Amino acid sequence: MLQHLLAGFAALLTLIAAGISIRAPAWPTALSMPEPAPACIGHSVLDIKPLREAKGFAHAASAVFLRDGRLRAVWYEGSNELKSDVRIWTATFDGTRWSGARPVLGPDETTAGTGYYVQKLGNSIIFRDQNGELVIVFAGIGSIGGWDGVSLKITRSLDEGESWLPPQSLTTTAIFNFGTNVRGPAVPAAGNFTLIPTYHSFVLHFPEVVLLDNRDRVVGKRRIGVAFRGIQPFITVLNEHRAIAFMRVNEGFTLEAKTDDAGWSWTEPVQTTSPNQDTPVVVARIGDDLFMISSYYDSSMDRWSLIFAISTDEGQSWRTIYARQYGIGDFPKYPWLTVGTDGLFHLLFTVVQSDGNSKLMHGRISRDWIAEHGGPACP
Amino acid sequence: MPINAVEVFGPTLLVAALAGNLVRSKPQSVRILASTCGAAVTNLPVGPATAATFFLGTVGPVSAATLVFAAGYLCAAIMKQQYRASRALLVSLIITGAVFYPLTFGLSNFDPYDLGYRGLTVPALMFAFVLVGWTARAIDIQLWIALAALLYMIGAYDSNNLWDYLIFPTDPIWAAGALAIDLQRGRARRQSTKLPPCQRAG
């Protein structure tokens, strides 16, 4: 008798769970269009300066424009990556100079906020969600493992980044929530959803997209594709349904995969003509063309360069328009590109130096400069 | 510190069951005391965290199956009985884990974990388990599925994925070990019953 009663009870609860599961949010059918590329401003600008020279390791900057026109950057900084003194830092740029940098989050605050022990922090991305609030999604590592054991945390600010609410944990994987990391910018989607380009780094590597609702809940996840084991996808939106993901690979060429249904399904990743030596890329639309910034290592000269390139065929082939070479031992990497209210592209990236310390750099680039160097002409 | 009591319950129950079993040969009052102390120690603050938050930060909240196992071992320790999960439960967990986890590693473009966010696939699997449990008269399967569904319904964990309530990576491993021991004992028992009565007594 007890056996039948329990079976009936379990079936009833499963039925209710099935009802909840059926009514769970569906994947969004459309992406929000990105900000248009800046117009030409009448003069050429390429201005690259340090924004932070850390006594240690500052890395993986991302940025968002504030309502008052300032640029707010966040990054992680500590004595080195995967150290327990790494914290998430922030600073703002008012159009002429950067404010002093200050830490906003550390492992203790993250442990207190999530209720999960967090020992180390890592990559972070900042974006404005569709409620208009600033959000940081960042990597946290518990008591074991390096990047393999990473999981995502989320925090939001109601005052343009001056203060941050206690972080929450995001559950994204089946095995101990291990292995989801973040780098590329978030993509807003219809229905108050946000796509977070992520990558899996536990045992096997591959790029993914995590779907967040406006209550910071993970409500979906799609694998971009396991071919070539790409990571750190950067998603460029072409229109409300179509987007391209560009991925870093260990050695070879930058990968691309396309979606026609707002990220639900992706074409198999294929190699582009852009060399990739284990560094992420950023890509922005300029009209019908694409503008990529990546890193390139010239082994014959033992030097890294920051490469600016243009594609006219939706990312399959790339033509270099500019290479900014760095000195021996300096390694420019982890670019982040955003369009400012001042009509310029703002580029952030890290230069890792031979002594292990790093500098965060800030570049301002006008559309005119890109046109002068063989990019799409000014309209 | 915001504590999710349901998530913390998992490691607390596990440590209580472990502590109770460590003093299995002692009187019942000692076994109860040991289990209670184990549960309490799990939630004592050590630096910025507790043992429970350390556990959660390392491996995350446990599944309904782990809770059923832990509760079974705790009851058995306190009542000084042998806990044996049904073979139907053990086999269900082994098969599910053997199919599910390798695919989540990224062997192909198909990600079964995504099925846990929406749709009928995982609930249909749960119905199948209820049927298996009913056919095999395995009460622990019904408890497992009912508890998983209940935790999912109330949003007990940070996760909105039904898989996270249903199964935990150590469940299939534990189940495989328990099934192997159970089969070994069954074989030994059968062999002993085949012996003549005079040898059996020895």
pLDDT tens, residue by residue, B104-139 = 999 999 999 999 999 999 999 999 999 999 999 999
Q: What are φ and ψ of residue A39, in 5° steps?
A: -80, 165
Give counts: helices (H), strands (E), chain B.
10, 2
pLDDT of residue B165: 98
pLDDT of residue B199: 56
Whether residue A150 is contained in a domain is answered as yes
Q: What is the mean pLDDT of chain B?
A: 92
The helix (H) or strand (E) run that includes residue A346 is: strand A345-352
Q: pLDDT exceeding 90 applies to what percent of chain A?
A: 93
Residue A136: beta bridge partners? A126, A155
| Tokens of residue A120, six digits | 């180390």
One-letter identity of residue A121: L
- Candidates A108, A113, A106; CA nearest to A77 is A106
Q: What SS3 class is residue A240?
A: coil
Q: Which residues of B touch A177 (CB under 8 A)?
A: 60
CB contact under 8 A, B143 and A171: no
**Residue in A with minimal Cα distance to B107:** A226
The structure's pTM equals 0.94
Q: Are A217 and A192 in contact (CB under 8 A)?
A: no
Closest CB from B114, B146, B160 relative to A10: B146
Whether residue A56 is contained in a domain is answered as yes
Q: Which residues of A touch B119 (CB under 8 A)?
A: 21-22, 24
Output the CA torsion A15→A20→A22→A24 (10° steps). -170
Q: What SS3 class is residue A287?
A: coil
Instruction: Please tell me the distance from the alpha carbon of residue B202 to that of residue B196, in angstroms, as a whole number.
Output: 10
CB contact under 8 A, A115 and B163: no
Extents of the domains making up chain B? 5-185
Q: What is the per-residue pLDDT across A336-358, written as a single tens digit (0 to 9) for each?
A: 999 998 999 999 999 999 888 99
**Residue in B with minimal Cα distance to A2:** B139
Instruction: Please tell me the distance from the alpha carbon of residue A180 to that of residue A185, in angstroms, as a whole number.
Output: 15
> The domain that contains A70 carries what CATH number?
2.120.10.10
Whether residue A252 is contained in a domain is answered as yes
Spell out a b/e string for A76-103, using b for 16 or more CB atoms within 10 Å of the CB, else e. Answer: bbbeebbeeebbbbbbbbeeeebeebee
**Residue in B with minimal Cα distance to A173:** B113
Closest CB from B60, B111, B130 relative to A177: B60
pLDDT of residue B202: 40
Q: Which domain holds residue A100?
A: 31-372
Q: What is the per-residue pLDDT across B14-66, written as a single tens digit (0 to 9) for each?
A: 999 999 999 988 999 999 999 999 999 999 887 778 999 989 988 999 999 99
CB contact under 8 A, A24 and B100: no
pLDDT average, residue stretch A288-311:
96
Domains in chain A: how many in total?
Answer: 1
- Residue A297: pLDDT over 90: yes
pLDDT of residue B64: 98
Query: Which of A170-179, A240-249, B38-47 is least confident?
Result: B38-47
Whether residue A1 is contained in a domain is answered as no
- How many angstroms separate the CA of residue B99 from the nearest CA in chain A? 13
CB contact under 8 A, A7 and B164: no
CB atoms within 10 A of CB B47: 9
pLDDT average, residue stretch B73-100:
95
- A265 vs B24, more confident: A265
Q: pLDDT exceeding 70 applies to what percent of chain A?
A: 100
Q: Which of residues 278 through 337 in chain A touch B, CB cutoff 8 A?
A: none
| Residue A43 burial (C-beta neighbours within 10 Å; 0-12, 13-18, 19+) | exposed
- Residue A220: pLDDT over 80: yes
Please state, in angstroms and as integers, the Cα–Cα distance from residue A136 to each residue in A190, A370, B60, B143, following that order: 20, 31, 22, 39
pLDDT of residue A37: 84
Closest CB from A143, A171, A208 relative to B58: A143
- How many angstroms separate the CA of residue A149 from the nearest CA in chain B? 8
**Residue in B with minimal Cα distance to A140:** B57
Whether residue A236 is contained in a domain is answered as yes
